[in-house]
Structure 1
Amino acid sequence: MNREGLLYGTIILLMSNFLIKCLGFFYRVFLVRVLGTEGIGLIEMVTPFYTFIIVITTWGIPLAMSKILAEEMAKGNWGNVQRTFRLTLFLLITSGMITTFLVINFAPWIMEHFVSDRRIYFCFVTMIPAVFIISSCSAFRAYFQGIKQVSAIGFGQTVEQIVRVLVGITLAIKLKKYGLEIAIVAVSLASVAGELAGLLFMVARYKRKKVKAQFSPSTGFWILIKRLYTFGIPVTLTRLLASFLMTLQASLIPRGLMLAGNDLRTATEIYGRFSGVALSLLHLPSIITMSMSVSIMPAVAELSGKTNKKLLKHRISEALWITSVFSVPSMVVLYYYAGELCTLIFHAPPAGEPLRILALGGIFCYLQQTLTSILQGMGRVKMLLFNNICSGICFIGGILLLTPVKGLEIKGAALALSLSYFIGCSFNLLYLTRNAQISLPLSKILIKPVTIGLLSFFALKFIDEQLRLFYGNLLLAMIISVLLSYVLYFILLFFIGGLPTSTIKRLPVFNKWFS
């Protein structure tokens, strides 16, 4: 089976993620306008519980399988590849069935003890079948990631998103007349439909692409199970920590807002603007970073057991460089146009204040995503867990201290989240450079992009002010200003050596210009 290169796979994922993000962003805007910020706030209260259940169900096995497959393929052990996939698929289907059964039976108890707003009950219950579907589908996604056929993941996610958006829009319109509590069920049903479509696509793709020949495995079942869980348990603990933090966020931020003097409905609306609007805009540039994260993990795992440290360093540096270079100008735009974007897109001007603070920590958020995949590929999951615990303590402590303060409120929560991004990213970089002994060109990865980003910010400010004098259309002025600032950013970055021609030449569109 042919494997896809790191850059090729990333580009394919980038294109599919671009479409997915555009559809998802349009879907989120639609939901905010149809259900309001209160409805989005209710949906965002369901998401952490849903994520927590999925993490418990999969138990880090898919990521462990991807790493094992990458290592076995590098050795040419196709028998172990086939056995690992079949074993993983069986484990995930079984755990998915058990978890789904348990959650359906204990749903009333979960709502009674862990939820402050009971209106999310029907939304939560209708989303439960997606747990089994996601658990089963994760085996196929991990298989394609491990054998470096990541384009299949991109196409599958595109199918899933198209179905989710179409079903969600249709049902939201039809159910709105029954009240907010029933209308938000549309989101749950859309998620189930989308996940089912994604699973069917991945199964069909696997049947078409799987290796027909049978190979003899050299590793026994119990050894494979031990390898899966040895790697999977720390990964699970890391993801449990992340989902636990999401759950605490959904609970502590509204409570903190109420301590600051807001009633329950107002606190829910403010949290909806923070989580559903500000964070949605912050995560838009993850089109690139998430694509890189999926591609880099097996690429690093493939080299982790070899002595070719030069190539390993090159892949890690390139992944971090791409993440940084494309994140910085996006954060500049989000910071400068925070209020305008929240107003024009979501009709939620107050969300601009937390978004501006989140944009300051955005670069560390995106680098953290890539660093997480790199450390997972290297098998350093225990240190990753420790670093995430440190950043999580900072986040929760910041919420408890800052959110109840009158005048800070939701801005305090945004500041706490930005600080946690910075701490997590810094700890992972320090570990990579000192303990893992991977020397990184920080000037190329961080200093040059950030320096040119500051210059492009002042250029954006100047261009925007001038265009507003000549154009009465705010949207047109914004589009022209953003495009010009992006062009200026990449030109200046190229001239100071922040855009290596060796990487640009590998892109199909530009290779003939530098040949």
Structure 2
Amino acid sequence: MKQVLTIDNKVSNEKTKDKSASFLKGTLILTVAGIVVKVIGSLNWIFVSRVLGGEGIGLYQMAFPIYFLAFNISTAGVPIAISIITAERVAVKDIWGAKRVFHISMSLMFFTGLLCSLLTYFGAQWLIDWQFIRDPRAYYAVVALAPAIFFVTILASSRGYLQGWQRMTPTGVSQIVEQIFRVITMILFAQMLLPYGLQFAAAGASLGAVAGAVAGLLVLVYFHWKLNKDIDKQYGPVLAPPSSEPQESFWHIMKRIFKLSLPVSAASIMLPIVSNLDLMIVPQRLEAAGYSVNQATALFGYLTGMAVPLVNLATILTAALAVSIVPAISESRVLKDFDSCFRRTAAAIRIANFICFPAFIIVFILATPIATLIYNAPGAGPAVCISAVSIVLLGLHQITTAVLQGLGHPTIPMVNMIIAAVVKVILNWTLTAQPSLGIMGAAWATAADIGIAAFINLYFLYKYINYKIEIKQIMKNIIAALVMGLAIYFAYNIIKMELNNNAIATLGSIIIGAVIYIVVLLLEKGILESDMAAIPVIGRIAIRILRRLGIFKEISQE
């Protein structure tokens, strides 16, 4: 009897490991894809800027917010809703139901994408006549971007369905292909149309969004075909719904899509709303603190154009982790496996802390050297330094929001974001006007905004799955990060003094600090073998090495 129980436990553990490995494999794929896409995008702007110049880029940037708004309206959080509902159907082996969700949602997205695309196309002149777009030359760029809204809407929905099957490779590959074709088309058409005028060159650059979306969509067509082949192999041809499962009506599925997607959409709309509030408040309060208009504009640029992108760059992995965890949590919830919900949440937050704490220390200590190295703007140092605090809080917010969405409570993060935004507005108004703080006051307000939303999310995670922050584990991260911080501080100053080269000193001290962080964390047993085992390929190799070093104990196979 004891032996049977042991075998059952081993089987259960293997299943848990397989699920965790699948979940983290998806995260790894999306992280790599995110990095590749950002690198390609950064190189793209270098080449496009050389072709169009500041004025041409300005025309493109006048059109892009219209496209971005129309795309957000047309998708309205539907991809996440599709991912959640598909994962629920797959969890109970209702394959016919999962396919039905896909067909219904795609019909909806076809209609909304086409509508928003047509409205953008035919409304372009109206936007100029009513002075929403100040320069009439941007008309051609808006018109060129209009078809992209339709294709990107279909693309996003297709990704949501495949993510519901916990297949993240299609998203990663399609993102890279989309970006490559977008970049090639932008540069090619901008260069070809430049002789006809700057407005046509900007429109040519805008066509990159269309080409990229079509290319990404063609990639997903292949992955849909591959998924259907795998379904036929595993389940056989799925021609009818299972008689044992009551099927949801068309209108019930539509109602669920809207119920899940609208809060997500409202939360995503909060970001541009908060950005516009920052635009209205921060420069004005900087002037109240005694800065001139030009100084206030420069400081605002340091925060929004330099510090915030660095925070987003540092949380690429946690953003990917958030996308991967939504269908995984949905699957566990529909199976009423709340232990799995708890384990996956705990693992995701541990991984987020493992990445975000050292990233925070690096950016905090090397704020001015990093701002000098990347932007050639040492004046951005104070804004970057305080914004570093947001890295840990943003990682936590991304994961907790995704878990609550997976648990079927997307409204909670939206309400929390509204509460936090109100606090941010108050802090922006009061702190930014303090001469001793200035732009650092606005950075503190941003950190408070993210932190409040994250900690309220944590309260609801405790309420629904009894999750509490692992204080002991976090303390290990903090200790390792502090030791790393000391190493970085001294390493930077020594290298800078010896070589008088900021780039080598910055990169060298980061490498030294990262090695020390991992060593300290291993010595204090701050990395769990179970988490490492779930990381594809790299995890197994690392475990073997660490067992030989005696850091992890060899487990008996008997």
- TM category (shorter chain) comes to 0.7 to 0.9
Take 1:36 and 1:483, find their aligned partners in 2: how far apart are those partners? 36
More deviation in 272-281 or 225-234? 272-281
Deviation at 1:356, TM superposition (A): 1.6
Q: TM-score, length-normalised on structure 1?
A: 0.87
1:160 paired with 2:178, answer yes
Take 2:523 and 2:314, find their aligned partners in 1: how far apart are those partners? 24
Q: 2:550: which partner in 1?
A: none
More deviation in 449-458 or 61-70? 449-458
- Matched ranges for 1:162-177 at <5 A: 162-169=180-187
Contact kept in structure 2, 1:333 and 1:482, CA below 8 Å: yes
- Matched ranges for 1:120-139 at <5 A: 121-122=138-139, 124-139=142-157
Q: TM-score, length-normalised on structure 2?
A: 0.81
Q: Larger relative contact order (C-alpha < 8 A, sep ≥ 6)?
A: 1
Letter in 2 for 1:214: V
Deviation at 1:296, TM superposition (A): 0.5
Letter in 2 for 1:358: S
Contact kept in structure 1, 2:60 and 2:138, CA below 8 Å: no
Take 1:177 and 1:349, find their aligned partners in 2: how far apart are those partners? 38
Tell me which of 448, 458, 483 is aligned to 1:429.
Answer: 458
Take 1:494 and 1:445, find their aligned partners in 2: how far apart are those partners? 12
Change (3 A) 1:486 1:150: same
Count of paired positions = 512
Q: 1:238: which partner in 2?
A: 267
Tell me which of 214, 224, 238 is aligned to 2:238.
Answer: 214
Take 1:281 and 1:109, find their aligned partners in 2: how far apart are those partners? 37
Unmatched 5+ residue regions in structure 1? none
Q: Provide Cα deviations, 1:247-273, integer angstroms capped at 9, x if missing partner.
A: 44455556666777655x876665554
Contact kept in structure 2, 1:74 and 1:302, CA below 8 Å: yes
Q: 1:75: which partner in 2?
A: 92
Take 2:49 and 2:473, find their aligned partners in 1: how far apart are those partners? 36
Unmatched 5+ residue regions in structure 2? 1-17, 242-246, 548-553
Q: 1:87: which partner in 2?
A: 104
What's the secondary structure of 1:5's corresponding residue?
helix
Q: 2:392: which partner in 1?
A: 363
Q: 2:480: which partner in 1?
A: 452
Contact kept in structure 2, 1:145 and 1:295, CA below 8 Å: yes
Contact kept in structure 2, 1:364 and 1:421, CA below 8 Å: yes
More deviation in 47-56 or 265-274? 265-274
More deviation in 31-40 or 77-86? 31-40
Contact kept in structure 2, 1:324 and 1:445, CA below 8 Å: no
What's the secondary structure of 2:166's corresponding residue?
coil
Deviation at 1:465, TM superposition (A): 1.3
Deviation at 1:314, TM superposition (A): 0.7
Contact kept in structure 2, 1:41 and 1:268, CA below 8 Å: no
Take 2:204 and 2:443, find their aligned partners in 1: how far apart are those partners? 29
Change (3 A) 1:39 1:80: same
Contact kept in structure 2, 1:277 and 1:351, CA below 8 Å: yes
More deviation in 187-196 or 279-288? 187-196
Q: 1:476: which partner in 2?
A: 504
Letter in 1 for 2:511: L
Q: 1:194: which partner in 2?
A: 212
Q: 2:165: which partner in 1?
A: 147
Contact kept in structure 2, 1:37 and 1:272, CA below 8 Å: no
Take 2:284 and 2:197, find their aligned partners in 1: how far apart are those partners? 25
Deviation at 1:41, TM superposition (A): 8.4
Take 2:90 and 2:390, find their aligned partners in 1: how far apart are those partners? 38
Take 1:332 and 1:234, find their aligned partners in 2: how far apart are those partners? 34
1:57 paired with 2:81, answer no
Take 1:407 and 1:297, find their aligned partners in 2: how far apart are those partners? 42
Over aligned residues, Cα RMSD in angstroms?
3.4
Contact kept in structure 1, 2:127 and 2:133, CA below 8 Å: no
Q: Provide Cα deviations, 1:314-357, integer angstroms capped at 9, x if missing partner.
A: 10000111111111212222222222223322333333332222
What's the secondary structure of 1:480's corresponding residue?
helix
Deviation at 1:223, TM superposition (A): 1.9
Q: Provide Cα deviations, 1:162-183, integer angstroms capped at 9, x if missing partner.
A: 2233344556677889998877
- Matched ranges for 1:35-50 at <5 A: 49-50=66-67
Change (3 A) 1:91 1:370: same
Change (3 A) 1:296 1:209: same
Q: Provide Cα deviations, 1:427-467, integer angstroms capped at 9, x if missing partner.
A: 1112212x214223422553332332222112100111122
Contact kept in structure 1, 2:342 and 2:465, CA below 8 Å: no
More deviation in 75-84 or 2-11? 2-11
